[in-house]
Amino acid sequence: MAIFVPVARIVILAAALCCGLARANAHPSELSPSSKNDGDDGKRVSSEPFGRQLTTAPLNDFSAKWAELQSRILAEQGMLAACRSGQESCPAAARLFLRIIELGRQHEGRARLGEINRAVNLSIKPVSDWAQYGTADFWSAPLDTLRTGAGDCEDYAIVKYVALRDAGVTPDDLRLVIVRDVRRNVEHAVVAVRNNDEWLILDNRTLMMVNADEARHYFPLFMLDERGVRAVWTAARR
């Protein structure tokens, strides 16, 4: 029978997504695919990263965390607008973020995604939230992350998500994805971007981009975008 990720699982993730926090859960064996037929050749094109079906996650701390982050991102957009207008007091982090966006805009397609992925990865050093903020999990807005030059996996992903959006990637082609890395048995955050007929994964662990279907060690748990938080449906067998 089909079940979706339980609310308790969402609350646990909201409390502590540390990009290195070990989990003891068994590896889920199956997921329900979500795809569409693209043309007369019968080719299946996934409508979501990893080809999964999604359901709106219940309102909880995890959804609230994403919503609160959007308000801080919106405030930073005002600062970026002032910088674009030539304001002399533009902070260094804002100038760096605008350079990353402009670097992406100088390219098209996969090259745009690769340039932004590389620029963000090289602008931030990996540091845990415990070391930086003294808490298990804190989602930093892009300019705050670039100001400190440090962050954990979701901080990298948030910077990329906003930079790609500002560089012209349409919201329907962009997701921030919470996954479980089944090799390391930890939760992790990446960005998925649809380019032509494939979803590409942008990861702080590598400068290479891979097709989501080839990232078999990543088991998707939640998709975050402008629509909010959506949970991935799983299939349980009796």
Query: pLDDT tens across 171-230, in order?
Result: 999 999 999 999 999 999 999 999 998 999 999 999 999 999 999 999 999 999 999 998
The pTM assigned to this predicted structure is 0.83
Over the range 99-114, which residues count as b (16 or more CB within 10 Å of their CB) and which as e?
A: ebbebbeeeeeeebbb
The helix (run of H) or strand (run of E) holding residue 172 is none
Over the range 50-70, which residues count as b (16 or more CB within 10 Å of their CB) and which as e?
A: bbbbbeebeeeebbebbeebe
CA-closest candidate to residue 11, choices 136, 156, 157, 133: 136
Residue 143, CA distances (Å) to 18, 122, 126, 187 in order: 20, 15, 16, 24
Section 138-163 average pLDDT: 97
Q: What are the two backbone dihedrals, phi and then psi, of residue 197, each rounded to the nearest 5 degrees?
A: -105, 25
pLDDT of residue 116 exceeding 60: yes
Can you give the pLDDT at residue 18? 58
- Give the burial class of 206: count Cβ atoms within 10 A of its Cβ; 0-12 exposed, 13-18 middle, 19 or more buried: exposed
Give CA angle at 160 (195, 105), nearest 5°. Answer: 60
> 203 Cβ partners below 8 Å, 6+ apart?
117, 190
The pLDDT mean for the chain works out to: 83
Banded model confidence at residue 16, pLDDT cuts 50, 70, 90: low
CB 173 within 8 A of CB 192: no
Banded model confidence at residue 17, pLDDT cuts 50, 70, 90: low
Residue with tokens 């670097």: 103
Can you give the pLDDT at residue 135? 92
Residue 142 in tokens: 């892009």
Can you give the pLDDT at residue 19? 78
In DSSP terms, 151 is beta-bridged to: 126
Section 22-29 average pLDDT: 39
pLDDT above 70: percentage of residues in the chain: 77
Banded model confidence at residue 231, pLDDT cuts 50, 70, 90: confident
Q: What is the tens place of the pLDDT at every residue in 79-103?
A: 999 999 987 789 999 999 999 999 9
Residue with more model confidence, 106 or 61: 106
Q: What is the tens place of the pLDDT at every residue in 183-200?
A: 999 999 999 999 998 999
Residue 202 in tokens: 């942008």
If you count them, how many residues does the chain have? 238
How far apart (Å, rounded) are the C-alpha atoms in residues 62 and 150? Answer: 23
Q: What are the two backbone dihedrals, phi and then psi, of residue 45, each rounded to the nearest 5 degrees?
A: -115, 125
Can you give the pLDDT at residue 59? 62
Name which of 107-111, 160-164, 226-230, 232-236 the model is least confident about: 232-236
In DSSP terms, 222 is beta-bridged to: 178, 231
Catalogue all structural domains in the chain, each as residue range(s) with its CATH number.
2-7+37-235 (3.10.620.30)
Q: What is the tens place of the pLDDT at every residue in 44-70?
A: 456 888 876 777 766 667 788 999 999
